[in-house]
Amino acid sequence: MNTSERVRPSDGSPAEPAAAADQAARGVRSLWKENGLSIALFGFFLLFLAGQSYAGMLEYNQELEEHGRRAVGYVQYLGTGHFVEAVFENWESEFLQMAAFVVFTVFLYQKGSAESKKPDEEEPVDADPREKQDDPNAPWPVRRGGFVLKLYENSLCLALLALFAISFILHAAGGARVYSEEQVLHGEEPVSLLEYLGTSRFWFESLQNWQSEFLAVFAIVVLSVFLRQRGSPESKPVAAPHSQTGAE
C-alpha cells in the first residue's frame, strides 16, 4: 500500500474531515466552559447597548422633529451628544462603584457576608507577592518586582478608576453638547465642558446613578449574610451559618 494514500475508514469516507469537525466542536465546548460567564455578560451588554442606541435614536429624532429639525440616521446618532451622554453617564457610575468596592474590601469587613474577608484572619489575597518572585508560574510583574510589582498589585483598582475617569469626562463632554444644543434652540448661549461641569443638571445625572450603584452593592453585601444561591460563588454554601464570613 502506498504510504502517501490517506487512511480511510471501512465505509470509504474520509476520516480527516470528521476528525476536524469533532476537534472543532470540542474547542467550542471548551471555550464556552472556560469563558461562558464573560461571553454571556458581554453578549447581553451588546444586546442592551444596541437596544438603547435604537430607542435613543427614536427619542432624539422625535425631539428634533418637534423643533422642526431634520431627523438623523442610526450611524449619525451614535456620534451625537445625546447617545454619548446616556452611555457614559451609566458606565461612569458602574466603574466608580466597582473601584470603591475593590478598595473598601481591602480594609473594611462585614461579618457573615460572602463578599467580605474574615475580620480576624489573614487570607490568601493578603499574602505578600514578593515571596513568590522565584515562582516560574507567577505573573511577569511579580517576578520583575520593584515599581512594576507595586503597580501590578494595585492594577485592578487603578484600571477601574481610569475607566471611571474616562467615562466621567465623556459623560461631561456628551452632556455639554446636548445642553448646548438645547440652549441654542431656546435662543441662549452654548456652554463649554467646564461650564457644564458646574451645572446642577450634570451632578443630578451623576449622583442619581452613583446612589443606585452603591445601594446595589450594599444590598448584595448584606443580603448574602442571610440569603443563599446554591451553585453561585457570590453566595455562601446553603448550609453555612449566618455568622460565617466569606464564600468558603
Q: Pull the grid cell for residue 225.
A: 449574610
pLDDT of residue 27: 82
- Residue 228 sits in the same domain as residue 154: yes
Question: What is the rounded average pLDDT of the residues 58-69?
Answer: 92
Is 171 within a domain? yes
- Residue 91 sits in the same domain as residue 32: no
Q: Pull the grid cell for residue 187.
A: 435662543
What does the pLDDT look like over 188-198, one tens digit per residue? 999 999 999 99
Is 104 within a domain? yes
Q: Quickly count: other Cβ atoms within 10 Å of residue 166's Cβ.
A: 14
Is 1 within a domain? no
Is 6 within a domain? no
Is 3 within a domain? no
- Residue 245 sits in the same domain as residue 133: yes
Query: At which of 51, 78, 105 does a domain end?
Result: 78
pLDDT of residue 246: 87
- Residue 29 sits in the same domain as residue 113: no
- Residue 104 sits in the same domain as residue 72: no
pLDDT of residue 94: 97
pTM over 0.85: yes
Is 160 within a domain? yes
- Residue 90 sits in the same domain as residue 193: yes
Split into its structural domains, the chain has a count of 2
Query: At which of 40, 62, 78 does a domain end?
Result: 78
Query: At which of 25, 55, 78 does a domain end?
Result: 78
State the pLDDT confidence band at 186, using cuts at 50, 70 and 90. Answer: confident
- Residue 38 sits in the same domain as residue 148: no
- Residue 192 sits in the same domain as residue 116: yes
State the pLDDT confidence band at 8, using cuts at 50, 70 and 90. Answer: low
- Residue 197 sits in the same domain as residue 160: yes
pLDDT of residue 68: 87
Q: Pull the grid cell for residue 137.
A: 508560574
- Residue 98 sits in the same domain as residue 215: yes
Given a cut of 80, is residue 44 above it in pLDDT? yes
What is the domain extent for residue 24? 15-78
- Report the candidate in 70, 67, 72 with the shortest Cα–Cα distance to residue 56: 72
Is 180 within a domain? yes
Question: What is the rounded average pLDDT of the residues 41-45?
Answer: 97
Please give the Cα distance from 190 to 117 (Å, whole number).
Answer: 50
Is 7 within a domain? no
Least confident of 6-15, 222-231, 234-243: 6-15
- List % helix, strand, coil for the chain (3-state, nearest 5): 65, 0, 35
- Residue 92 sits in the same domain as residue 156: yes
Given a cut of 90, is residue 177 above it in pLDDT? yes
Given a cut of 60, is residue 134 above it in pLDDT? yes
- Residue 86 sits in the same domain as residue 68: no
pLDDT of residue 12: 52
68 φ/ψ sector (left φ>0, alpha ψ -120 to 50, else beta): left
Determine the length of the chain. Answer: 248
Question: What is the rounded average pLDDT of the residues 145-166?
Answer: 97
